[in-house]
Amino acid sequence: MTATETGPVGIPELEPERTGAQSEIPEFEPIAVAAEYEPPTAGIDPDQTKGWMKRLMPLLRAHRRTLVIGVVTGVFALATQVAVPAAGRSAVDAAITGDRRGMWIVAVLIAVFGVGRLVFGGVNRFYLFKLGWDVETDLRAIMYEHLTRLSFSYYDRTQSGDVISRANSDIRSLQLLLAFGPLISMNLLMFVMALGFMLYIHPWLALAALAPLPGVYWFGLKFRNQVFPLSWVTQARMTDLATIVDENVNGTRVVKSFAAEKRQIAQLGRSAQRIQWTNVEIAKSRSRWNPIIESLPRLGTAVVVLYGGWLAIEGRVSIGTLLAFSAYVIMLQVPFRMAGFVLMQGQRASAAAQRIYEILDEVPQIVDSPGAVDIVQPRGQVDFEAVCFGYNPETPVLDEFNLHIEPGERVAIVGSTGSGKSTVARLLDRFYDVDGGSVRIDGLDVRDVTLRSLRHTVGLVLDEPFLFSASVHENIAYGRPTASRAEVEAAASAAQAHGFISELAHGYDTVVGERGYTLSGGQRQRIAIARTLLANPKVLVLDDATSAIDVTVEEAIHRALQELMADRTTIIIAHRLSTISLAERVVVLDGGRVANSGTHAELLATDPHYVEILARHSDHESGDVSGNGDGSMTSRNGR
């Protein structure tokens, strides 16, 4: 598809052979972006009654090849490790009896076991760590994809620091358990293998070595019961800390403007101290129970030395057997030395998983309905029919709101603060669903069309534009990533942004700072306008989109918009007279309803409320409004 077919309507640089207003809006088609990462083949089990590990099983099964290779090689690695003391037993007994040939055979076997342990152990560690990283990557993809589908109502009640904490530190806690957990679990298998050899060699001596283990289990249970609630509290308080950091970074201009750095540092310090308290309590639990858990198995060593030594003196077991038992008792102790870490990491992962599932279990409110259709070849007719809506159901913003806009018509919506002007735009783009009535485009209820085609059809420019920390070109081309530099520059020229962009250090390749704060408010707004123009929507909504732009620049933008808005339905939410002048019809909102409608001149002559609204905002801009004889208005600054 050529640039002429997809380019913004009426931008001369893209369509020199056309008059701009006559070009056709392309049909909806999704943005084609080549995937660099295969999406997860499985997700989280939706059954909330299951335990956290069971809910994770579909994702683990998706990586079963990696898991199987890791487990099988781990079993072989452990088998070679456990076989060494048994071979050593034969070597010692052969040395005592003077069997040199037997000693050589055993020495070769031990060498083979050592090489096997090296190879199988290396493969085992690689695949188990790979499993942890693969699952972490999939979890991040699953969570981010789910976050993109969650409705605005979720973000209205959720702190950004909370989301960031769960998407980062909580997922990392799961990754650590998945990476190290299987490795440590292998030690349990080593315990079973070593115990099997011990029972085969001498059952009573083996049972004597196991005598302290019931105490290990009991103290481990006590440790778990203390650590789990503390782990949950730690994760929650980490969220609070992340929120404070996020707000201080994003709101640094407010903090500095009020010289509130010390107060914010104190707030951060209090939050850090709350985390410190829980971590200290966890450390106390570890210092209290871990030494007991690790030391109890050592009593088994003492029993083996005493009882086994007596058996050797009596000639009932060989010296090789006694040495082999001593080695196996050490192997029995390894899982218990790691038990404290496993229990603590397991409880932390359990708490982290439940916090992650809280997000994944959140049901999006705004989704495509069954049988939703694409808006194909939109005409741009917009209808609000008896719309009722409130962010808080007890406090409606719009009440029986009715408005009909013809295709290609330019309508300005004016009203006092809180009258619902911006809400009209949010309902049209289906950021929220109406509580009553309907919003329609070309006769189709917006709830019956696909969200992607709806938002392709309706372009929204907000009064507080958000820019990504990327190049100017990437910000303008956000809605059309494949747009050429010529198309991007044409859109920027129409938004009167090409001049200042060309003066930047690297022009269109200049990377703007966080949220675009390296640019002025007016510059950000112009880039936002260019971004929407490049997307070429059939319905254009300007929500105070030029509020931060200089008057002379605004006039140039308006001249360009006059051409660009031809044959395009445009809804202008504004307070400035110069912006309202772009509209053919003005709608006055009051009390969540249309109070009046007409041309600017008609309303100025007949509607005192309209005059009051304009006067209030003109006074705010340091210009008194007065009516001219032709029904127009003039301010002190000549606008």
Per-residue pLDDT tens over the stretch 563-617: 666 678 989 887 777 778 778 899 999 888 898 999 888 888 888 888 888 887 6
Alpha carbon of 74 to those of 59, 71, 122, 165, 336: distances in Å? Answer: 21, 5, 9, 33, 19
Q: Which CATH superfamily is domain 382-598 in?
A: P-loop containing nucleotide triphosphate hydrolases (3.40.50.300)
First to last CA, the chain: 43
Lowest mean pLDDT among 401-405, 513-517, 565-569: 513-517
Which residues make up the CATH 3.40.50.300 domain(s) of the chain? 382-598
239, two tokens? 């969220």
- pLDDT 10s digits, 307-354: 777 877 777 777 777 777 777 777 776 676 666 667 667 777 887 888
Which residues make up the CATH 1.20.1560.10 domain(s) of the chain? 52-360
Say whether pLDDT at 631 is over 50: no
34, two tokens? 């080549």
Amino acid in position 272? A
449, two tokens? 């069309």
Alpha carbon of 279 to those of 275, 429, 448, 481, 521: distances in Å? Answer: 6, 46, 51, 46, 44
Say whether pLDDT at 619 is over 60: no
Q: What is the pLDDT of residue 210?
A: 75
Q: What is the pLDDT of residue 160?
A: 73
- Which of residues 246 and 398 earns the better pLDDT score? 398
Residues with Cβ within 8 Å of 63's Cβ and at least 6 positions away in sequence, in order, are 131, 134, 135
- pLDDT 10s digits, 51-94: 888 888 888 888 889 888 988 898 888 888 888 887 777 777 77
Q: How wide is the angle at C-alpha 437 spanned by C-alphas 431 and 443, nearest 5°? A: 80
Pairing type for strands 382-389 and 436-441 reads: antiparallel
For the segment 272-298, the average pLDDT, to the nearest whole number, is: 76
**Structural fold of domain 52-360:** ABC transporter transmembrane region fold (1.20.1560)
Percent of the chain with pLDDT over 90: 10
Residues with Cβ within 8 Å of 58's Cβ and at least 6 positions away in sequence, in order, are 42, 43, 44, 45
Please tell me the pTM assigned to this model.
Answer: 0.68
Q: What is the pLDDT of residue 258?
A: 64
Q: What is the pLDDT of residue 605?
A: 87
Strands (E), 374-449: 382-389, 398-405, 410-415, 436-441, 444-445
Alpha carbon of 246 to those of 163, 167, 198, 310, 524: distances in Å? Answer: 11, 14, 57, 67, 22
Say whether pLDDT at 15 is over 50: no
Could you give the CA distance from residue 143 to residue 171 in angstroms, rounded to a whole number? 10
Could you give the CA distance from residue 500 to residue 44 in angstroms, rounded to a whole number? 48
Is there a contact between 349 and 177 (Cβ–Cβ < 8 Å)?
Answer: yes
Residues with Cβ within 8 Å of 5's Cβ and at least 6 positions away in sequence, in order, are 26
454, two tokens? 């709806």
Amino acid in position 109? L
